[in-house]
Amino acid sequence: MSEENPEVVKVFAQIGLCATQYATLEFHTQFLLSYLHTGKEMSLETVIFTRQASFAEKLKLIKEFAAYRLNKHPDICNKVLALASDIDKQRERRNLFIHGFWLVNEVVIMEGLVRVSDTKWKYNKDRVEYRAMETTDISLADLKKLPVEINELIRRIPELIKELKKYAQPETKDKKEQSSPNG
C-alpha cells in the first residue's frame, strides 16, 4: 500500500503543512480586514459582515478599506495593497490545497511531483460546457519551498497591523460630540 511508503507519508505531511499554513494565512488575513474595517483586530462586526464572504471577497474588502481609510497615507496604503495582492497571487494555489483532490503515490513521486485536481466546476460559455477536475502538477521542489513562502505572508500581517496602529487616530469624547448630529 502506497500510504505506508515513507516517501509518500513525507509528501502527505508536506501537503498537510501547506494546507494548515494556508488556513493560518486566512485566519491572520481576517485580523487585517477587521482592523481596517473597525480599528480592532478582533471585531465581531467584521465577522458578522464577512462570515459568508469567500477568501477572494475578503481580499477585495481589504483593498477597498485600505484605499478608503488610508487615502491620506499613501505609503502605508500601498503596503496594505501590496500584501493583499501578494496573498491574492497565492489564492488559486491555496484553493487547491484546501479543496483539491490529491494524487500522491510512488509513481508520481518518482517523477518528482505530486498531482492535484481542482474539484470546482467551471463553465466555459464559449464552448457551452462545464469542466471539473483540471489537473495541476506541483514539483516536489516547489512543494518543499511553499511553506516558506506562505509563512512570509503570515509574518507580514501582524507587522503591517502594528504599523497601521501608528496611523490610528482614536476619537476623543470632544471630537465625537462635535461630529454628533445633535451636538
**Above 80 in pLDDT, residue 82?**
yes
Strands of the sheet with 113-118, listed across from one edge: 101-103, 113-118, 134-139
Judged by average pLDDT, the poorest of 46-50, 64-68, 71-75, 171-175 is 171-175
Do the bridges between strand 134-139 and strand 122-124 make them parallel or antiparallel, or are there none, so unpaired? unpaired
Length of the chain: 183
Side chain identity, residue 78: N
Mean pLDDT of the region 153-157: 98
User: Domain map of the chain by residue range?
Assistant: 10-168
- Rg over CA atoms, the chain: 21
Task: List, as one string, the DSSP characters of 143-181.
Answer: HHHHHHHHHHHHHHHHHHHHHHHTT--PPPHHHHHHHST
Do the bridges between strand 122-124 and strand 129-131 make them parallel or antiparallel, or are there none, so unpaired? antiparallel
Mean pLDDT of the region 60-74: 95
Long-range contacts of 104-113 (CB under 8 A, 24+ apart): 104/2, 104/8, 104/11, 104/12, 104/15, 105/2, 105/8, 106/2, 106/5, 106/7, 106/8, 109/7, 109/8, 109/11, 109/140, 112/139, 112/140, 112/141, 113/137, 113/138, 113/139, 113/140
Crossing angle of helices 140-165 and 74-99, rounded to 10°: 140
pLDDT attached to residue 130 = 78
DSSP 116: E
Task: Indicate the helix (H) or strand (E) that contains 134.
Answer: strand 134-139
pLDDT attached to residue 122 = 75
**Above 50 in pLDDT, residue 71?**
yes
Mean pLDDT rounded to a whole number for the chain: 88
Judged by average pLDDT, the poorest of 16-30, 80-94, 157-171 is 157-171
Q: Mind listing the pLDDT tens digit for each residue in 8-66? A: 999 999 999 999 999 999 999 999 999 999 999 999 999 898 989 999 999 999 999 99
